[in-house]
Amino acid sequence: MTTRERRLAGFEERQLAELKEHIAARTAAAPARRPRGRLLLAAAAVAAGVCAAVVIPAVSGGGGESAYAVTRDADGVVYAELRDSRDTAGLSDQLRRLGVPAIVDYVPAGKMCREPRGKHVEDIPRDLYHVPESIPGERHGWRMRIDTRLFKPGQTFVWTIGKNSTGGTSTSTILMEGPVAPCELVDAPKQKEYRPPYRLATTKGRSLAGYRVDEKTVGEVVPEIEKRGLKVIYVIMGISPGNPGGYGELRVQKTPVGEDWTVWEAEEVVKGPKDTPTGVIRLLVTKEHHDRNPVYGGPRDAVIPDGS
């Protein structure tokens, strides 16, 4: 495993853990009509940087809404929106007709496509495709952007969509080159649940409830934390070029960073089976200010509405 693979594999572990926490935090306040709490973005690059994962609520294609919508602009950029994961054949066909060399497969809960299916591409152009993000103004579904001009001959965009154990839909996007084997369904390995020793601090009932930290400076946030009698540690975030969404932890430190650094989110450190708060807050920070929140792949409100 290369250094790049190890680094990005760590991204995946962290994002999956945080998704579980965010699901639990939001489900308690969700309206009864919704099968799960909200749209969740796992904007983490995994599998040596060629796979991006997302978890979305299970939704119906009824009610007059199309299961998917795919459009292409004059510059060759394709925009795909997905609201129902079941029509993968139609989605795959439409993507190919608009210039995306794609294979889209659906797998039921507890299953996966047998690997390896083909050779993964590691040197991916920065803007070939971005990890999925929420559809503005909608609580269900997500969208992604794919630049058809950046595909090389013989490359295939392999998109696998499957039901997960919680009733939602998990997806992966992988760029391959050369022949790609058909999806042969096999039993998926059981995933060991991981509960990180920290959780979101800015939602109801948490240490920083009622105080938004996202996109403020360290100099603005730290005084409020200290006023609440809490201690601070700093998570220095690693952001992929182009800020496609997702991040890694470069290091965690007690030493203060500059007051002009940007805070993207705050987590409270917990311990024990009851997740008892320890009075320590992890501030997720970067020295540079980015164009969008890397924790959520966009505005925090698109994932966690204010007041949650």
Per-residue pLDDT for 16 more than 80? no
Please tell me the predicted confidence (pLDDT) of residue 114: 94
Contact 121/177 with Cβ under 8 angstroms?
yes
Q: Give the separation between CA 69 and CA 71, rounded to whole angstroms.
A: 7
Please tell me the predicted confidence (pLDDT) of residue 139: 59
Q: Give the separation between CA 74 and CA 144, rounded to whole angstroms.
A: 17
Q: Give the separation between CA 270 and CA 273, rounded to whole angstroms.
A: 9
Helix, strand, or coil (residue 221): helix
Stated pTM of the model: 0.51
Please tell me the predicted confidence (pLDDT) of residue 136: 67
Average pLDDT value over all residues in the chain: 77
Residue 45's pLDDT band (boundaries 50, 70, 90)?
very low
Please tell me the predicted confidence (pLDDT) of residue 153: 95
pLDDT in tens, 174-224: 999 999 999 999 998 877 766 789 999 999 999 999 999 999 999 999 999
Q: What is the rounded (10 degree) CA torsion for 5, 8, 13, 14?
A: 160
Dihedral sign (CA 290, 150, 46, 300):
positive
Q: Give the separation between CA 32 and CA 48, rounded to whole angstroms.
A: 39
Please tell me the predicted confidence (pLDDT) of residue 19: 43
Helix, strand, or coil (residue 89): helix
Per-residue pLDDT for 270 more than 90? yes
Question: Where is pLDDT greater, at 242 or 206?
Answer: 206
Q: Which of 205, 222, 220, 213 is nearest to 293 (CA)?
A: 213
Please tell me the predicted confidence (pLDDT) of residue 12: 43
Q: Give the separation between CA 285 and CA 53, rounded to whole angstroms.
A: 23
